Amino acid sequence: MAGLKEDPVLGIDGITIKEELKIVKPEIDKLRGDHPVLETVGEVIKGESLINNRSVIDKVREEGSCGQGERDMVPLTSNSIHRSGSRPQLDLSKAAIEGTFEERDPTILLPNQSDDISHLALDIGGSLIKLVYFSRHQDRLTNDKRKKTVKERFGISNGNRRSYPILGGRLHFVKFETSKINECLDFISSKQLHCGGMDSHCWHSETSPNGNALIKATGGGAYKFADLFKERLGISLDKEDEMDCLVAGANFLLKAIRHEAFTHMEGQKEFVQIDQNDLFPYLLVNIGSGVSMIKVDGDGKFERVSGTNVGGGTYWGLGRLLTKCKSFDELLELSQRGDNRTIDMLVGDIYGGMDYNKIGLSATTIASSFGKAISEKKELADYRPEDISLSLLRMISYNIGQISYLNALRFGLKRIFFGGFFIRGHAYTMDTISFAVHFWRGTSNVFAA
């Protein structure tokens, strides 16, 4: 796409997944060399050789896990697989996202997972609770066939852990409204995730000094609801800083995951190759209940430079009041069938259907969001919920896009990465943000997600 290298404005793919990986707190670190290894869910991602625009699926290969036909693997020492006294590792070799981006809640298949790993980590935000948990494959027949060879290969000995590794598993991503936190607690309890899952004899969670299970969590709710988790489930939340997690997670995804960044304009999605030597600095725009804009200068080097209180929570809150929608996804679905021209005042409405050419405004440009509601003698019930939802979505997305562009301009940044639950893989949201940046840049080379 023209102008990509000169001045790209990019977005982050797999928004749901990104939100969940945020809570893994991936602090880029060294692990006895340059071997990329993703540690236990809720722990840390280590390794600095996540480069060359190759996915973790291609890069992370553990000794003995190579199947027939695999190529270009990075051999790892046995210490990287199972180090005595070390925390268990999350094996991303041959990992794959199952389900489509549009399905919103894909799972990540981990076919070569051998270590026991933590089953649960949380991001408890102002509007939503995002939960990631690990489940094992139930195909015991396959496990039985490979038990002996894997045990001999990895040198697993009997002890507190199981005598043979788990073969394969899956990461699941689930969300709950924060206002309905008891539903989240019931879900955790029903699946015994805080105890290691249904087959909890295979895994032992870390414990706090008071003996409670210790679960990694980030977000303001990790503080607000800490006592509730302790009372209901006997869980102590091991709190991680939200901004640290957000930036470290974004850096990991951009460095390690192929097709993680893409552009989105006029319904067209195009994946973008990231130059690892030219990644920093960039502006990270995280759109949750509110919006944070973070200037990222490197691994562990960042500053929150701006933000706005008009974000996803605003869209959801006003949307519920104006349309009676019961969920965020329902509100987004409404917007896809909307026509904002019935409620927004356009430049053409002011200039008799004509463009305002002198300052470069087309007749279809929004002059005032919800502007027609002023002059028309209509009540709320006279407007279609679909039109209201779309007008509201455009108003908030345009505002975020404009502020993001102005901050990139302010700090001389040539890349903007958009992420957060508000985007939610929703094509029109991404298009609207892209259009806003495009509008203020005065060029067609706009990339957003």
Question: Is residue 99 scored above 70 in pLDDT?
Answer: no
Is residue 408 assigned to a domain? no
Reported confidence tier of residue 102, pLDDT bands at 50, 70, 90: low
- C-beta separation of 289 from 312 below 8 A: yes
Lowest mean pLDDT across 63-67, 85-89, 308-312, 413-417: 63-67
Torsion region of 349: left, alpha or beta (phi above 0 gives left; psi -120 to 50 gives alpha): alpha
Is residue 235 assigned to a domain? yes
Is residue 210 assigned to a domain? yes
Higher per-residue confidence, 285 vs 263: 285
The residue segments making up the domain with residue 72 are 22-244
Is residue 190 assigned to a domain? yes
**What is residue 98's predicted lDDT score, i.e. its pLDDT?**
74
The pLDDT tens digits for 205-239 are: 566 666 678 899 999 999 999 999 999 999 999 99
- C-beta separation of 369 from 389 below 8 A: no
Is residue 165 assigned to a domain? yes
Q: Hey, what are 24's tokens?
A: 């893994």
- The average confidence (pLDDT) of the chain is 74
Reported confidence tier of residue 421, pLDDT bands at 50, 70, 90: confident
Is residue 9 assigned to a domain? no
Q: Hey, what are 222's tokens?
A: 């990790």
Which residues does 389 contact at the CB level (< 8 Å), separation at least 6?
319, 323, 325, 331, 332, 334, 335, 338
Is residue 27 assigned to a domain? yes
Higher per-residue confidence, 170 vs 412: 412
Region 124-136: mean pLDDT is 90
Work out how many domains the chain is built from and give that number: 1
Region 66-91: mean pLDDT is 40
Is residue 201 assigned to a domain? yes
The pLDDT tens digits for 46-78 are: 222 222 223 332 332 333 333 333 323 223 333
Question: Is residue 26 scored above 70 in pLDDT?
Answer: no
DSSP 301: E
